[in-house]
Every structure is written in structure tokens, then in C-alpha cells.
């Protein structure tokens, strides 16, 4: 069995090296995402023949069993990685790419589509301009917000990061995050991201309403053509603020990218409807594989 290393802050150069050489397609494969969610999703690393493999535990794992988390970053095929790691690696999740899966022995593995975790990818200029009849309702919400509230957009920096933390606290109080494990885990991941914002080469935009930050978004480069949006928060009760922060973040911060990956809907009906309403260019399909 190859040596496993627990992901921590010191592993950032190693992870970023591999993800630069082998650019990811899935939203989970940035150091920010991997590190921010460690409280609820510990990650192990394994370097095999110039390939970096990410591993996690899932609900079906017992003892020392692990599953591969996303495509290996390197030249080894998924089948070769399974052979190298041995039988206690019982499967893989968030896998993408038909070529990646084609080398698996069909009699040894079951392959299942994971629609709930497929990433929504949009054209950046579509989100920034909201042109055409498909976006008429979005434009109406944005117009309402700008007409009824004194909104000012600014980039996130060391000068306003504490105000973003305050917004997260107020948002969690309004949503009772402490009563919802999913929201609690997300709040922890976002708090970690805010703490390390200046070290992770992140992109962030915020909107002040009457001088108080009431919405913000955080993202970063995913690959040469695509940015990924990790978090977006807007205080409830301000009609159109969600649509406005979405539009202005694309317009002011993401112009160098052709696409924006806005992550998955997790199978939540309302979230799926919201993501589909923005007319995705395509989905990054993901799969689960188990022995």
C-alpha cells in the first residue's frame, strides 16, 4: 500500500502543482474547496507515479476503507490507480469523463451516474449581461433591487473581509444554521475560506446596501477557461439581491474566463430549479464507481 498523507495547509504547493499541470473540470478539485471542507470531509493524498490521488471516507466505508475523490490528477488511468491502491479502496465518487471510466473491468465495478453532484457551467457573458427573453425575470429582479436599494459593488479585500464574516454570522442567524447540519457545515467551510482569503488567490465581490455589506460571492480559477464559484450569500428580505450579486460578480470579476462553474444542486428541488433557470451551457457529469 502506498503512503497516505492527510491534507493540511502545508500540502497546498503539492496540490496546486498537480492541478496546474492537470487542470480540473470538477468544482471540488481546488485546494480551497478541499481544505475548506476538512471539518466535515477529511481528505487524504496519495502520490503514485507522478499522479496525485485524493481519497475520502463515505457512509459505506468501514474500518480503513476509502474511496477516490474525483479524477486522479496525472497520467495514470482510474483502473491503474485502483490496482496500485489495493482492495481497501472500494470505489470512487465525483468521477467524470467517459475515457476515465472506460478502462475499468465491467465485471468488477458498478458505475452509476451522480446527477445530484453534476456541476452547472454557464457562459460568463450570459451571466454578466442577462440578455434575451430567458433572462427577463432575472433582469426584472435586478432592476427592482437597484431601484429600491442603494447598492454599491466592491471587491473583497483585507479592508472588508471582517464585514463579510459579519454577514455570514447574520445570515446564519436568519437561517438557524445551528439546527441544520448541512448549513452548519457550509458555514464552517465558508468561515475557513474567509480566514484564508488572502492566501488562496481567491476572487470575491460584495454588495453594500445603505453602507452595510448584505451580499458576497467567492470564487477562483478552476482551469484556463473556467472560474468556479464556491460560495454566494445574500441576506433575505432584499428582493433581487441574489440576482444582482450573481450578475455583478460575473461582470466585474470573471471577465477573463469564458465559463463559470457554479457547482452542484445536491438534489435539492429549489436549488435545481434556480440553477436551471440561469440556462447552463452544459453540465459536468459525475459518476460513482464501486467494486
pLDDT along the chain (291 residues), means of 10: 90 98 98 97 97 96 94 94 94 90 79 96 98 97 97 97 98 94 96 96 97 98 98 96 98 98 97 98 96 87
Phi/psi region, residue 247 (left: phi>0; alpha: psi -120 to 50; beta: rest), is: alpha
Per DSSP, 133 falls in state G
pLDDT number for residue 101: 84
Per DSSP, 199 falls in state G
pLDDT number for residue 193: 98
For 138, 183, 209, the CA distances from 272, given in Å and listed in that order, are 16, 17, 28
Cα–Cα distance for residue pair 105/102, rounded to 1 Å: 8
Burial status of residue 12 (CB atoms within 10 A of its CB: 0-12, 13-18, 19 or more): middle
pLDDT number for residue 157: 97
pLDDT number for residue 106: 66
Bridge partners for 233 per DSSP? 216
Cα–Cα distance for residue pair 232/206, rounded to 1 Å: 10
Domains of the chain (ranges; CATH) run: 5-117 (3.40.630.30), 119-263 (3.40.630.30)
Amino acid at each position: 500500500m502506498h503512503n497516505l498523507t492527510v491534507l493540511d495547509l502545508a500540502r497546498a504547493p503539492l496540490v496546486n502543482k498537480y492541478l496546474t499541470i492537470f487542470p480540473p473540470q470538477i468544482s471540488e478539485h481546488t485546494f480551497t474547496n478541499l481544505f475548506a471542507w476538512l471539518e466535515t470531509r477529511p481528505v487524504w493524498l496519495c502520490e503514485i507515479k507522478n499522479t496525485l490521488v485524493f481519497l475520502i471516507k463515505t457512509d459505506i466505508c468501514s474500518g480503513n476503507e476509502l474511496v477516490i475523490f474525483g479524477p486522479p490528477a496525472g497520467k495514470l488511468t482510474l483502473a491503474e490507480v485502483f490496482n496500485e491502491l489495493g482492495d481497501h479502496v472500494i470505489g470512487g465518487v465525483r468521477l467524470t469523463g467517459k475515457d476515465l471510466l472506460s478502462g475499468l473491468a465491467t465485471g468488477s465495478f458498478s458505475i452509476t451516474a451522480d446527477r445530484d453532484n453534476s456541476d452547472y457551467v454557464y457562459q460568463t457573458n450570459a451571466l454578466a449581461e442577462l440578455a434575451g427573453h430567458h433572462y427577463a425575470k432575472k433582469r426584472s429582479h435586478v432592476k427592482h433591487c437597484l431601484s429600491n436599494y442603494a447598492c454599491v459593488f466592491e471587491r473583497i479585500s483585507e479592508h472588508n473581509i471582517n464585514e463579510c464574516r459579519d454577514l455570514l454570522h447574520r445570515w446564519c442567524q436568519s437561517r438557524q444554521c445551528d439546527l441544520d447540519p448541512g448549513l452548519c457545515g457550509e458555514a464552517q467551510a465558508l468561515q475557513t475560506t474567509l480566514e484564508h482569503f488572502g492566501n488562496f488567490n481567491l476572487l470575491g465581490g460584495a454588495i453594500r446596501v445603505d453602507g452595510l455589506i448584505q451580499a458576497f460571492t467567492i470564487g477562483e480559477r478552476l482551469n484556463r477557461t473556467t472560474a468556479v464559484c464556491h460560495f454566494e450569500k445574500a441576506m433575505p428580505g432584499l428582493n433581487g439581491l441574489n440576482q444582482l450579486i450573481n450578475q455583478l460578480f460575473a461582470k466585474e470579476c470573471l471577465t477573463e474566463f469564458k465559463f463559470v462553474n457554479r457547482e452542484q444542486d445536491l438534489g435539492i428541488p429549489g436549488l435545481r430549479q434556480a440553477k436551471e433557470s440561469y440556462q447552463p451551457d452544459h453540465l459536468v457529469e459525475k459518476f460513482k464507481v464501486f467494486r
